[in-house]
Structure 1
């Protein structure tokens, strides 16, 4: 057979295009496997897009979205697990109940207690897990006790910051006790797991962020000159945060200055400086030796473990009053922020919002519009064509750009 060089090149080019299209479809299938989109239409909220791309199996991260049933407001949470998937799963199932309970007014709190667990505190909108029967029983026992504790402290002025602090700390303390008392099967294994958490409560124009660990919440703002800006609403709690590093060092004797943080990790082992769980960094050394060393071996007790607790679940709480320039919020674990800076994320999502309208058929917002109004809509749509995204889901769009900035998703 006589194959000319030119025909071979054309054939190779055609094969290359086929392979690139095939790979694009395969990559897109993987990227979109866990994506969800939903309309909310609740005052300042319009919709949400979510996605997760696991780096290990089973996936250690969780995300949950819920609506408070006894008060107004929505809750959004990202939970970044480490040491296993179990703790992030457990915290993601329980924390919203603790928050919803901690913000109840006195009358509703009393009514909740009288209902004896028959009243649901939140309606879960998005979640992939459930607890075991034993875990559920332990949860509601602890939650009921927490409700009585809150009722006994009535009279103090309400503070959203205090409520969020109390919810995080009470849940951490309750799980610590349940684990030590072995309230459910294999509960001691949970003592060696932990989770960073970033939770957002949105109620009308009020937005509160509570974060413990290295997840982050970033607000996307559209400026007067139509450019996108990022406003971080929380800081990462790791050694890159100088204020956080100083806090940790100040909580322990000068003699431990060279051992508390080593190689940018707590006691040379743990990267986040705040987290729920990880009780082998919180319990007294005698308790770790008694309960965890027989289970996991001597490494369960961290080196230079002299003055615990070394780790805290106290969240950093910030408040933001939403304004007309605030357009969206991005809530993500450190996996995204390690790849994309906040300003880049804000620009990507902002441009995605402009371009996404071109993925749908044009629908005029109202009948009998003037020609000049239609012309403006068409001009905006034409501008959006230049930013037409590959993905309708904004979270998938971010993941694709975090992995690689080619149209195929991987460089």
Structure 2
């Protein structure tokens, strides 16, 4: 049965030789190996970092970045490290928008307040949400489906020995902490998740919408907000926040039957502040594509038991091996499956591992360090080329809503 499915899927997507992808040269800006992009090691103000992204969708919906240096629009600082992982759904537009605008907003608000704070981060999230809403409003007449595109948003900021973690959705940040008495490195989850599969999230939704008994619905054994989407907080998903976008010309299958008075989803991040300690070894930032295969401790163990170089790529590869095992296939066969078709086997997966050097972390935020700006890569389509399988925002025929179940696949044959 599996072999027949594989043959059908391969027939659906046969890229030309000009669309095959190989390694690039230097690792300075990362390397490409098929659908895997990676940067094995780099330096930020507070230590080393490693990044990796594997693409599953036709258009990469995960976006990510590491920024190190000034966290303000003024060169006088403060200085530190910014990490962002943006896991899109319904299309790549929102995650790309966040990748372009969230960090500049953060720098602007840091400059205004002349320091890093929870308030600065919250304002940066709010400005990004409002900016994307303005974009949707402008594009609505020509491209109404953009109202149904959204993204999770996980951010980490290290500044002056303090770690700020802000999150919308179900990406996750996990700290690896050394226990000196035993030599073990234990996992500590730093981010709060907003997924309807979590009972406290369902309770929160019921308390916010007491007049709506259908605010969360169990559908195909998965809890979903309004029976549509698993995450309860995001950037974008405007049609679930503004009733004026829950109408034609948005496709009927995406619209809610009933109108609503208050936003169904929220863009208010959960923010956690942690004072970094000498026994804090590293932080794993990852989209939920990783966490569906590993527990927090399993991921920490993989990082701890191997060299720093290539840490993120090692985690992504381990996740792909698990995905292959679950489908009773070989990892080598999974690697041969192209984007779009690959989404039947695993999600886009983004991992950033940030290692912490105690001496660098403890220095003042006024001390200037190396300037770094790296964005996670993916496979780029050639100009004027069509993706072989339709994406939700292009044809409106399917919409992936973090359901964890199989997708309907439309192919251009």
User: Which residue of structure 2 aligns with residue 203 of structure 1?
Assistant: 159
Contact 1:31 1:396 in 2 (8 A): no
User: Which residue of structure 1 aligns with residue 214 of structure 2?
Assistant: 258
Contact 1:218 1:329 in 2 (8 A): yes
Go from structure 1 to structure 2 and tell me whether the alpha carbon gap of 1:203 and 1:283 turns closer, same or farther (over 3 Å shift): same
User: Which residue of structure 1 aligns with residue 300 of structure 2?
Assistant: 346
In the alignment, does 2:63 pair up with 1:56?
no
Contact 1:219 1:330 in 2 (8 A): yes
Go from structure 1 to structure 2 and tell me whether the alpha carbon gap of 1:223 and 1:186 turns closer, same or farther (over 3 Å shift): farther
In the alignment, does 2:325 pair up with 1:394?
no
SS at match of 1:397: helix
User: Which residue of structure 1 aligns with residue 201 of structure 2?
Assistant: 244
Contact 1:259 1:304 in 2 (8 A): no
Give the stretch that moved more between structures: 220-229 or 205-214.
Answer: 220-229
Using the TM superposition, give the Cα deviation of residue 304 of structure 1 relative to its aligned residue in structure 2, in angstroms.
4.1
Contact 2:206 2:215 in 1 (8 A): no
SS at match of 1:399: helix
1:229 to 179, 183, 186: 186
Deviations along 1:81-129, whole A, 9 cap, x unmatched? 01011211111111111112222245x6xxxxxxxxxxxxxxxxxxxxx
Unaligned runs of 5+ in 1: 1-24, 109-157, 357-391
Using the TM superposition, give the Cα deviation of residue 37 of structure 1 relative to its aligned residue in structure 2, in angstroms.
3.2
Go from structure 1 to structure 2 and tell me whether the alpha carbon gap of 1:246 and 1:393 turns closer, same or farther (over 3 Å shift): same
Unaligned runs of 5+ in 2: 1-21, 24-30, 335-413
User: Which residue of structure 2 aligns with residue 165 of structure 1?
Assistant: 122
Go from structure 1 to structure 2 and tell me whether the alpha carbon gap of 1:102 and 1:262 turns closer, same or farther (over 3 Å shift): farther
Contact 2:209 2:215 in 1 (8 A): no
Contact 1:281 1:308 in 2 (8 A): no
Deviations along 1:365-391, whole A, 9 cap, x unmatched? xxxxxxxxxxxxxxxxxxxxxxxxxxx
Cα distance in 2 for partners of 1:78, 1:346 equals 18
- The 5-angstrom pairing of residues 20-31 of structure 1 reads 30=33
SS at match of 1:181: helix
- The 5-angstrom pairing of residues 274-353 of structure 1 reads 274-284=233-243, 286-289=244-247, 293-294=248-249, 296-353=250-307
Using the TM superposition, give the Cα deviation of residue 305 of structure 1 relative to its aligned residue in structure 2, in angstroms.
4.0
Using the TM superposition, give the Cα deviation of residue 180 of structure 1 relative to its aligned residue in structure 2, in angstroms.
1.0
| Higher relative helix content | 1
TM-score, length basis structure 2? 0.64
User: Which residue of structure 1 aligns with residue 48 of structure 2?
Assistant: 47
TM-score, length basis structure 1? 0.65
Cα distance in 1 for partners of 2:260, 2:108 equals 36
Bigger RCO of structures 1 and 2 (CA < 8 A, at least 6 apart): 2
- The 5-angstrom pairing of residues 90-105 of structure 1 reads 90-105=97-112
Contact 2:116 2:159 in 1 (8 A): no
SS at match of 1:40: strand
Q: Which of 1 and 2 has greater Rg?
A: 1
| Higher relative strand content | 2
User: Which residue of structure 2 aligns with residue 75 of structure 1?
Assistant: 82
Contact 1:221 1:228 in 2 (8 A): yes
Contact 2:147 2:245 in 1 (8 A): no
